[in-house]
Amino acid sequence: MAGAYPDVPGRRMGWDSDGTVCVWRRLNVAQLTEATASQRAELNDEDDVNVVAQSSAWHVYFIFPEQREVDGIYVKIGAYTNAIGDVGISADTTNGLDGAWSTLISDYPDSTNPPGYPGYRENIVSTAGSNARGLYVYFQRDLWLRAVHLYGEISPGQTPDRLLFIDESTGLEFQLPKDYGDVPRGSARDFQMRLKNNSTVAGNNVTLNNIQLTAEDLFLGSGAWYTFSVGGSAFAGTVQIASLAPEAASQLIVCRQVIPVDETLGPHAGRAKATVGSLS
């Protein structure tokens, strides 16, 4: 189904909970302040809530667990002009202060900051950043930062142990999020997928145990729209997979979306999340 908004340039990173570290510092000051869990979640959600501010020009850094391709970025601030400067990436930084950096966007367009939360789908800036271990956004003045959304995927050649979400229709990892377009409240639909353990690719041959699959949201309530059935089991908001051996895929997973008849109008962004209880 065609989207109701422009297509996103890639998968939206769950940087608030995927091991990414977010820190900030005032210009020419070495001290770094790390975002709390609640600040990370608020910066990666879709509302217009003020999250953090500084009293002068400042940088916000994102340090990824592995190198990533950066396909797009959305930044939301208070109502200022000429406030956002460069966006840069580094292939080798460890903390934001070290490493070699290059410019990804020479002057982030302030025109992407109109009022209202739907802007997170309308004003994404596409980029083509490769092998980024870190990313910064430079703010040229004091301001409130409200959101930073990053789009992209793990770089080729980077093979951390992880679960892959496999599209049943292609047999490949999902390259883009599911975009249902403008669908009516009170409607329902299914799609199929599997989870795959890629630890053999990483060279570790790790079995993943006690896997929990659920859906969540960071704003509004779309996480509750989704239930899952594994191998024909009853649909539930949270399901368990006992274990996945190296390179093994799960039984067929059916994800069902049911939109309540009284749901808030507007774009919603639920996400599926798989967590692993133990490794062996």
Looking up residue 248, the CATH number of its domain turns out to be: 2.60.40
Q: Contact 222/177 with Cβ under 8 angstroms?
A: no
- Domain range for 85 is 21-154
Q: Check residue 36 and give its pLDDT.
A: 98
30-42 pLDDT, tens digit per residue, is 999 999 999 999 9
Residue 8 in any domain: the answer is no
Q: What is the per-residue pLDDT for 185?
A: 96
In the structure, how many helices (H) and strands (E) does the chain have? 3, 16
pLDDT of residue 118: 87
In a domain, 15, yes or no: no
131 and 44 share one domain:
yes
Across 79-88, 107-116, 134-143, least confident range: 107-116
Residue 46: pLDDT band (50, 70, 90) is: very high
Q: Does residue 199 register a pLDDT over 80?
A: yes
DSSP codes, 27-74: TT----EEPPHHHHHHHTSSS----EEESS-EEEEEEEEEEEEEEEEE
Same domain, 149 and 178: no
> 149 and 198: one domain?
no
Query: What is the per-residue pLDDT across 213-228, written as a single tens digit (0 to 9) for each?
Result: 999 999 999 999 999 9
**97 and 177 part of one domain:** no
Q: Please, which contacts does 224-230 make with residues 24 or more away whose CB atoms are closer than 8 Å?
A: 225/257, 225/258, 225/259, 225/260, 225/263, 225/268, 225/270, 226/255, 226/256, 226/257, 226/270, 226/272, 227/255, 227/256, 227/258, 228/253, 228/254, 228/255, 228/256, 229/253, 229/254, 229/256
CATH number at residue 77: 2.60.120.260
Is pLDDT above 60 for 1? no
pLDDT single digits (tens) 58-69: 999 999 999 999
Model's pTM, two decimal places? 0.95
Residue 94 lies in a domain: yes
Q: Which of 19, 10, 9 is nearest to 162 (CA)?
A: 19
- Kindly report the average pLDDT of the chain as a whole number: 94
Instruction: Give the distance, in angstroms, between the CA of residue 267 and the centroid of all CA atoms in the same chain.
Output: 16
Q: Based on the structure, what is the number of domains in the chain?
A: 2
Place 117 in a pLDDT band, splitting at 50, 70 and 90: confident
Q: What is the CA radius of gyration of the chain?
A: 19
In angstroms, the CA 68 to CA 249 distance is: 24
- What lies within 8 Å, CB to CB, of 229 at 6+ separation is 235, 236, 239, 253, 254, 256
Same domain, 60 and 167: no
Q: Are residues 129 and 73 in the same domain?
A: yes
255: nearest Cα among 199, 206, 188: 188
- The confidence score (pLDDT) of residue 251 equals 98
Q: Is 184 left (phi over 0), alpha (psi -120 to 50) or beta?
A: beta
* pLDDT score at 202: 61
In percent, the amount of the chain with pLDDT more than 90 equals: 84
Position 118 in a domain? yes
Q: Which residues pair with 189 in a beta bridge?
A: 257
Decide if 108 is inside a domain.
yes
pLDDT of residue 201: 66
